[in-house]
Structure 1
Amino acid sequence: MKRALLTVLSLVAIAAAGCSSAVSGSQEAEGLASPAKKETAQRIVASAENGTLDWRSAYGYIEDIGDGQGYTAGIIGFCTGTHDLLTLVEEYTGDHPGNGLARYLPALREVDGTDSHEGLDPGFRAAWKAEAKRPEFRAAQDAKRDEEYFDPAVRQAERDGLSALGQFIYYDAIVYHGPGDGPTSFGGIRADAVKRADTPAGGGDEEAYLSAFLDVRREAMRVLHPGHDTSRVDTAQRRFLDEGNLDLETPLEWTMYGTRYEVA
């Protein structure tokens, strides 16, 4: 009888544990790669990069913002001076020969790594805007954004044990600073932050680590562009962190370059 009773009790306990696990799993917070969170991430980045929440309106965006990186263009700020715009057009041309940007490839290769417009003016901006009306080029921008920025940032954040907010903080940092291990690149910023605070995966407190990361990133922004507005850290990401919104749940409110934004 005791054995039978223990068996019954064990089965009940296992079933209860299973139900508990199922509830816990269903309530587990979504990461940044979930469709809703990814959409939110694109909207916050667009508020900084393009002054809008409608990130899809930025496929045709292109201008020289005077930051020494040539033309900045598209949904994530691909730059003629930082190699990502060149590789975007090269790969797009490989899939779609004869597109309206292909004729600028020789000039794009020449100006890569500089702020020069040589060989691009006066027609490149109009060609970019025209090509951005094609769904194939919009899809190419999406794919390049994910390949070089979104996916690597989320993967590293997951390895560091970070929630959706931490994943977004990494994503915005790699968009602005670029990949790499230099002191003002994403890898260098992360390395410095890890020296100041342990990641959650390393046994640290997430809020303390993210605060350290934002401190390092703000310093790097000041090194790159002295006097530049650091709203994307100070009045956006820092605000979300101070509110304890580690899951990046909506509604969200923030200020970017003096303009207030809200996602319901």
Structure 2
Amino acid sequence: MLLTAAALVLVRASDRTPSASLAAPQRRVGKAHLTAPAKKEIAMKLVSSAENSSLNWRAQYGYVEDIRDGRGYTGGIVGFTSGTGDMLAVVARYVAARPRNNGLARFLPALRRVNGTASHAGLDPGFPAAWRAAAADPVFRVAQDAERDRVYFNPAVGQAKKDGLRALGQFAYYDAMVMHGPGPDPAGFGGIRAAAVRRAKPPAQGGGEVAYLTAFLNARTAAMRREPAHRDTSRVDTAQRVFLKAGNLGLNPPLRWSVYGDRYMIAK
């Protein structure tokens, strides 16, 4: 799916850090890629702060609702949607791994029919309850993790490494791919990257990393503003740009940022 800024959930008080400054201190750039477990955990928390107003991304396996963005139901850890095919892929993977006593199996035909639309036909009224119930099953959680990595995380990090980007750039690619999808069209990740490359060379082509990431984030926010559900660009402007301005290309904690007016911190 494409995660959207419209998926606003009440922020738990324990997730907020109201006194945290948005300015991050200058620090040495770390060498670890986003695939390192500690870095990947940071990436999951950053996405969850934007998508679910919480740093507790593991609590989102059972999340499901229609956020009225034209993609049908949105659910799970990266906002898989019934209208874009990735929710179908998650359920199909889960059914393959758990063919019996699987409450989501009966919705596979409907998910195939509504793919590409905002329709709930065949999904109401039971699909949301079945999705939430499935979240208690570790096999379902593994299915979500696997589809997240296959469709979004691994391709994004792989392309970022080819472009010579460190952890912050790898995260910028991942977050963009989650929200916009991996497609080559102007509204997809491929189109956003192409727009950035027209303005600045990535490090692998001899360009400066900061200049290129600035161009990429500019292209990203331009794409967001073209879609009503994504017009709030704070997940870029008061998060990723904050880290970039601080020179934190390694995405090293402590990290302080804000999304939709709510402040967050990762201390270590």
Q: Residue by residue, what CA displacement relative to the aligned partner does 1:138-175 show, whole Å, maximum 9, x if unpaired?
A: 01111111111101000000000001000000000000
Equivalent residues in 2 for 1:208-223, closer than 5 Å:
208-223=211-226
Structure 2 distance, partners of 1:159, 1:233, is: 22
Q: Secondary structure at the match of 1:220?
A: helix
User: Cα–Cα, structure 1 residues 28 and 75, in superposed 2: closer, same or farther, change >3 Å?
Assistant: closer
Match of residue 140 from structure 2: 137
Equivalent residues in 2 for 1:15-54, closer than 5 Å:
29-54=31-56
| 1:225 Cα deviation after fit | 2.2
User: Cα–Cα, structure 1 residues 150 and 226, in superposed 2: closer, same or farther, change >3 Å?
Assistant: closer
* Count of residue pairs the alignment pairs up: 238
Q: Residue by residue, what CA displacement relative to the aligned partner does 1:190-229 show, whole Å, maximum 9, x if unpaired?
A: 0110010000000000000000000000010111227721
Match of residue 127 from structure 1: 130
Partner amino acid for 1:161? G
Partner amino acid for 1:90? A
The 8 Å contact of residues 111 and 123 in structure 2, kept in 1 or not, is answered as yes
Structure 2 distance, partners of 1:103, 1:109, is: 11
Q: Secondary structure at the match of 2:207?
A: coil
Q: Secondary structure at the match of 1:248?
A: coil
Tell me if 1:90 matches 2:75: no
User: Cα–Cα, structure 1 residues 48 and 108, in superposed 2: closer, same or farther, change >3 Å?
Assistant: same
Instruction: Point out where structure 1 has 5 or more consecutive residues left out of the alignment.
Output: 1-26
2:171 to 155, 164, 168: 168
Structure 1 distance, partners of 2:103, 2:143, is: 14
Tell me if 1:159 matches 2:162: yes
Structure 2 distance, partners of 1:95, 1:113, is: 25
Match of residue 61 from structure 1: 63
Structure 2 distance, partners of 1:251, 1:177, is: 28
Tell me if 1:73 matches 2:75: yes
Identity of aligned residues (%): 61
Q: Residue by residue, what CA displacement relative to the aligned partner does 1:63-100 show, whole Å, maximum 9, x if unpaired?
A: 11111111110001000001000111112212211311
Structure 2 distance, partners of 1:231, 1:125, is: 29
State the TM-score, normalized to the length of structure 1. 0.88
Tell me if 1:224 matches 2:235: no
Tell me if 1:117 matches 2:120: yes
Match of residue 194 from structure 1: 197
Partner amino acid for 2:147? K
Partner amino acid for 2:200? A
Q: Secondary structure at the match of 2:201?
A: coil
Structure 2 distance, partners of 1:182, 1:28, is: 33
Match of residue 180 from structure 2: 177
Taking only aligned residues, the RMSD between alpha carbons, in angstroms, comes to: 1.2
Larger radius of gyration: 1
Q: Secondary structure at the match of 1:30?
A: coil
Partner amino acid for 1:151? N
Q: Which one has more relative contact order, counting CA pairs under 8 Å at least 6 apart?
A: 2
Match of residue 8 from structure 2: none
Partner amino acid for 1:61? Y
Structure 1 segments (4+ residues) deviating >3 Å: none
Instruction: Point out where structure 2 has 5 or more consecutive residues left out of the alignment.
Output: 1-28
2:246 to 243, 246, 253: 243
Structure 1 distance, partners of 2:180, 2:230, is: 16
Partner amino acid for 1:119? G
Partner amino acid for 1:65? I
User: Cα–Cα, structure 1 residues 227 and 162, in superposed 2: closer, same or farther, change >3 Å?
Assistant: closer
Structure 1 distance, partners of 2:30, 2:256, is: 24
